Amino acid sequence: MISKLERIVAFRYLKPKRKEGFLKVISIFSFMGITLGVAILIIVMSVMNGFRTELINKILGFNPHIIVKPYSQAIDVKNIKKLGNLNNLIERASLTFSGQGILINKENTMGILVRAYQKNDIHKIDLIRNGIIDGSLELFKKNTVSIGKDLAISLDLVVGDEISVMSTSNLQTPFGNLPLQEKFRVTSVFSTGLAEFDQNVIFMHFDNANSLFELSGMDIGLEIFLKNPDTAELIKEKIQEIFNEQYVYSWADLNKSFFGALKVERNVMFIILTLIIIVAAFNIISGLTILVKNKTKEIAILRTLGVSKKSISKIFFLVGFTIGLLATITGVIIGVLFSYYIEEIRVLITSLFNVRLFPEEIYFLSQMPSEINLKYIVFVSFFSLLITFFATIFPSISAAKLDPIKALKYE
């Protein structure tokens, strides 16, 4: 326990006298260093967690959790019916096609990814159904398409416009091979928040894809959505037993390297930014060492009055730890507030300085994400206090070892 005397002396030392201005500067820099270190760590961790969560939600909302692709033979409808045994794990399954094509609008052309669904199936994709910003999915039928917002802006398209889509399949004519091409009407525009998808993907009816790309059984895949995407690896093995003649892979397989890189980057950033707190902790050591030097006479007087070595050690420990504790609390408050309002801050900085801090084409998201995780806040706070604890030990022990007789003799 810390006695009343120890608290009084410690808090008195926290307010350096005017002649101890240099000591005051060191204390301020120690406080600011730890505060900034904690705040920046929380902000960076929140942004990276938000970035990861947002990407997973977008990817899982747009892409299937498990994909079955033909290998040696086409997907058998009888095997699809066997998925009924996994109804408690599978939300839905649908046949689909994905292929590359060229979108032609007047004089503009652009390479696109065509995804084909039946009308009832496209309604089940939450990210598309909830992301319609113009038109309606109710109009999705043969000879119609749904396109992304960024693609519509790039080609100056609106609902009701007519476009042509050219496929990679060829039509043999007396004049040679010509690529297949069909006309479509834009009936809806969607926004997923992922710039990569909104710029490059269009949806068309399965019947149109069948004729435009001259589909065979080997071109048609099966998309499976699970009730719990985290169980994809376990369920994939059961599905592989059913479709033993086809490729079966999950969303985790497709994005393993990407999310692995995100995890490594987050850990590296944590290590690098922790150095800020460590440097600030060295300032605490410096400050306490100078404080012990300046208070040599007072320490000697306290010792002659009967204050124990342990109490002297606790006094200086309390001084250093209080700086670290207050700095950590301040850093947590600043970090949490900054993380909570980070998108508003980004917009403000962008408008004031005309600088793009979060380009959509690079980060795939339309706004800066942030996810405040209590576990990380507690971990960062504990780590900061732990560094402060070790930083105050050496000066505190040095103060306790001071010989009062020698100190008074030289004073």
Residue 407 confidence (pLDDT) above 60:
no
Helix (H, G, I), strand (E, B) or coil at 251: helix
Per residue in 266-276, pLDDT (tens digit) is 788 888 888 88
Cα 175 to chain center, whole Å?
54
- Write down the pLDDT at residue 257: 78
Q: How far apart are CA 306 and CA 314, in angstroms?
A: 15
Tokens of 397: 């022990």
- Could you please report the per-residue DSSP string of 143-166? TEEEEEHHHHHHTT--TT-EEEEE
Tokens of 253: 């397989």
The mean pLDDT of the chain is 81
> Is the Cβ–Cβ distance between 399 and 313 less than 8 Å?
yes
- Write down the pLDDT at residue 191: 87
Residue 315, H or E segment: helix 309-340
Provide mean pLDDT across the span 378-385: 90
Provide mean pLDDT across the span 368-390: 88
> Is the Cβ–Cβ distance between 259 and 52 less than 8 Å?
yes
- Write down the pLDDT at residue 365: 63
How many CB atoms within 10 Å of residue 91?
A: 13
Provide mean pLDDT across the span 344-350: 82
Residue 334 confidence (pLDDT) above 90:
yes
Per residue in 28-37, pLDDT (tens digit) is 888 888 898 8
Tokens of 364: 């795939």
- Write down the pLDDT at residue 331: 93
- Write down the pLDDT at residue 337: 94
- Write down the pLDDT at residue 398: 81
Q: Identify the DSSP state of 223.
A: E
pLDDT bracket for residue 280 (50, 70, 90)? confident
Q: How far apart are CA 403 and CA 394, in angstroms?
A: 16
